[in-house]
Amino acid sequence: MTATARRARDDRRRDVLAAAALLLVLAVLYLATASRGPAQVNDTRAATVASWSLGTRGDPALPSAWPPSHNYWGTTAPDGRVFVNRFPGVAYWAAPAYALASLGDQRPAPAHPFLVDRRPAGRMAAITAALAAVGLFAVLRTVTGRRPALLGAGLFGLGTSLWSVAADALWPHAPACLALAGVLLGWRRQRPVVAAAAAGVAVLVRPHLVVAIGVLALVAWRDRERRASAAMTAGAGLGLALLSAYSWWAFGTLLPVAGYDTAGHLGGLVDHSPWQTLRAFALALVGTERGVLRYSPVVAGALVALLLARRRVPGWALGSALAGLVYLFVQVRAVGHRGGAHFFAYRVTLEPLLLATPALVAASVAAVREHRWVGPVLGLLGLASVGIHGFGAVVGGIDATTTSRWEHIDRSVREAFGDRELGEVDLRPRP
């Protein structure tokens, strides 16, 4: 073995060790701070009960004794079955965790949907979020050294809503971030199969990510990386085809909506004025309620670094950041910047932030070398970001009144149905 080959092998080994250490630290923190109580938003509760149904019963539809309820976004299909109207990529993401947890579990299935064990879904969300940060580390290694890549991935894992929101419960953002990291990694490591598979998963989790993947494919085509461009396009197309097939099977429509209320949620694409769209875009970045720069101030410092060292940033990384901005523009035009209520900080800007991170990290590394003051400023802003999201991960984003109400509901349901098995009680309203 030549000296060059030995150095390359040792370099890969150190990368693996660094990635393993990052995964361990983040997984432990995420699992320790993940939500355990009954107070969850409807989105995460929906993914939990759907994953439970598929993982333990082998049926994507919910039990026939359960009614279609907005508390878990239950929607009645034309044939009378009830599904959650979440996209299948996130709705069934934790099904393997429930299948594994059910092995050797002799307890009967719960009679009420609120009695479904939430822990497997929470663990799956936490581990997926940690894997997303590790995937980002691998992407960052294509633009910078091991230490800055580890620092950048660590800050994304601890200084953004990946910790306080995505790792807290089964939101779509941890799977989406993992899939996007896979798209970027497959592209930069010249693994078109990886890029295609990850693009398909991303679309199954959040279909409008096809916008970001489309921009990435155009950037790859511009750079004459035709295989990568074709792989991303084909993967996203396959994801849309699978989503259409699922929608047809479950809801009788070829539109890739999976029961989602597109008319109610996507009307902004037509109805919102340019001023409303620009205002929502600005609020997503700097707003006091959901602004990414307020809750992750290290991003503001990295943007300054990008202004100082833009010429040091690879073109593909700038293209990835552009893909994130285009996706965010479509997101806020369709449904606004808030992303709902009862969670900490922001969530709809997390995927764009991941796509922008390679450019921000590459620029920060260059700016630190060229300007002595940049390093200390980024360090202070990074610590502030970690502190903010650490607080959010521990305290959570659901207010005390709502938490108390759900704890009361949980006690009442357990008293009424805790000793009953699935099928003993029909919870559907009588005609």
State the average pLDDT over residues 402-427. 88
Spatial separation of the C-alpha atoms in residues 23 and 129, rounded to whole Å: 9
Residue carrying the six token digits 């699922």:
246
Residue carrying the six token digits 């004459």:
224
- Other C-beta atoms within 10 Å of 303: how many? 17
State the pLDDT at residue 386: 98
Spatial separation of the C-alpha atoms in residues 390 and 39, rounded to whole Å: 19
Maximum distance among all Cα pairs of the chain, rounded to whole angstroms: 78
Spatial separation of the C-alpha atoms in residues 202 and 199, rounded to whole Å: 5
- DSSP-assigned letters across all residues of 55-74: IIIS-SSPPTTS---GGGTE
268: pLDDT strictly greater than 80: no
Angle at 36 between CA 32 and CA 41, to 5 degrees: 120
270: pLDDT strictly greater than 60: no
Spatial separation of the C-alpha atoms in residues 194 and 183, rounded to whole Å: 7
State the pLDDT at residue 106: 74
**Average pLDDT along the chain:** 93
Q: Percentage of the chain surpassing pLDDT 70? A: 97
Query: In which element (H, E) is residue 191 found?
Result: none
Check: pTM over 0.85? Answer yes or no: yes
Question: Buried b / exposed e across 101-133, counting CB within 10 Å, b at 16+?
Answer: bbeeeeeebbbbbbbbbbbbbbbbbbbbbbbbb
State the pLDDT at residue 17: 97
State the average pLDDT over residues 176-202. 98
264: pLDDT strictly greater than 60: no
CA 349 to chain centre: 10
Among the ranges given (298-307, 351-360, 404-413), the one the predictor scored with the smallest mean pLDDT: 404-413
How do residues 131-156 score in pLDDT, each as one tens digit? 999 999 999 999 999 999 999 999 99
For residue 236, the one-letter residue type is A
Q: At how many degrees (to 10) do helices 209-222 and 315-335 cross?
A: 150
DSSP letter (8 states) at residue 113: G
Indicate the burial class of 263 (C-beta count within 10 angstroms; 0-12, 13-18, 19 or more): exposed
Cα-Cα-Cα-Cα torsion 7, 8, 10, 15, nearest 10 degrees, comes to 140
* 3-state SS, residue 84: strand
310: pLDDT strictly greater than 70: yes
What tokens appear for 20 in the block? 């393993």
For residue 107, the one-letter residue type is R
Indicate the burial class of 93 (C-beta count within 10 angstroms; 0-12, 13-18, 19 or more): buried
